[in-house]
Amino acid sequence: MRKIFFANWKTYLTDDEAEALARTYAERSGASSVDIAIAPSFTALERVARVLDNTSVALGAQDAFWSDAGAETGEVTPKQLAALGARFVIVGHSERRALGDTDEIVARKVRAVTADGLTPVVCVGELGPEREAGRQAEVVRGQLQAVLEVHPNDAPLIVAYEPRWAIGSGTPCRPEDVDSMHTFMREIAGPSVRILYGGSVDPNDIASYLDLAGVDGVLVGGASARPADVEEFFKLFSR
């Protein structure tokens, strides 16, 4: 199965910049050996969707609300995202968990996203002090089980191991530690769940993760939004 490169553009780009960078992805994706998805900001979704139309690059969103009820001021629902052509939604990113997304909220969002036919990309991972205390397996197991309890077995699910301390820090998790965590997560999640690694992945270190048999792909933030790094990634993918 092909590996996945999932770009999380966070709030790095204006809508004009997002559209321009999406064009680069669209043009280069034809020769790519990996599957590609992009999660731009909500504001850029429609413009990026137009660029990606009829290409192999999939559209994702960075979050979604847990209900489609309608009276939810300020939220964006899975139904609205599906109508724009999104296929994936990141749920429980550590930057959302830091703002209050508990395991219960993450579970509700996973249910809502799945109910509207989208695939959740659920982020799990320990904080720096939790790793220092040797609690990473316990933390990840708890976050993962909260999702598996509500997720229907027959619906697609992607999980990303993203240790908080490795995100945006320039200090990625060592490949051997990623490898052992993915093995641990695979035992809990079973064979059908795709498991990505994320946290300071860049063109210099991406191969050390994609080469691991237990890693189904990468979730990339900063570097995926930098045009020069994107060119480097595609050089690697076209080999």
- In the complex, the smallest distance separating the C-beta of residue 200 from ligand PGA, rounded to whole angstroms, is 4
Q: Nearest residue by C-beta to ligand PGA?
A: 221
At residue 122, the 3 state secondary structure works out as strand
Active-site residue among 130, 151, 162, 182? 162
- In the complex, the smallest distance separating the C-beta of residue 110 from ligand PGA, rounded to whole angstroms, is 17
Active-site residue among 93, 95, 130, 182? 93
- The DSSP code for 78 is H
Alpha-carbon span 88 to 113, nearest angstrom = 9
Q: Which residues form the interface with ligand PGA (CB under 6 A)?
A: 8, 162, 167-168, 198-201, 219-223
At residue 215, the 3 state secondary structure works out as coil
Catalytic residue flag (residue 162): yes
- The DSSP code for 168 is T
- In the complex, the smallest distance separating the C-beta of residue 45 from ligand PGA, rounded to whole angstroms, is 17
Q: Using an 8 Å Cβ cutoff, are 7 and 220 in contact?
A: yes
Residue 63 or 190: which CB sits closer to ligand PGA?
Answer: 63
Residue 8 or 114: which CB sits closer to ligand PGA?
Answer: 8
Long-range (24+ apart) CB contacts under 8 A made by 135-143 are 136/163, 136/181, 137/181, 137/184, 140/181, 140/184, 140/185, 141/184, 141/188, 142/103, 143/92, 143/103, 143/106
- In the complex, the smallest distance separating the C-beta of residue 222 from ligand PGA, rounded to whole angstroms, is 3
Residue 214 or 222: which CB sits closer to ligand PGA?
Answer: 222
DSSP secondary structure, 104-121, as one string: HHHHHHHHHHHHTTPEEE
CB count, 10 Å around CB of 18? 22
Residue 38 or 167: which CB sits closer to ligand PGA?
Answer: 167
**Residues with catalytic roles:** 93, 162
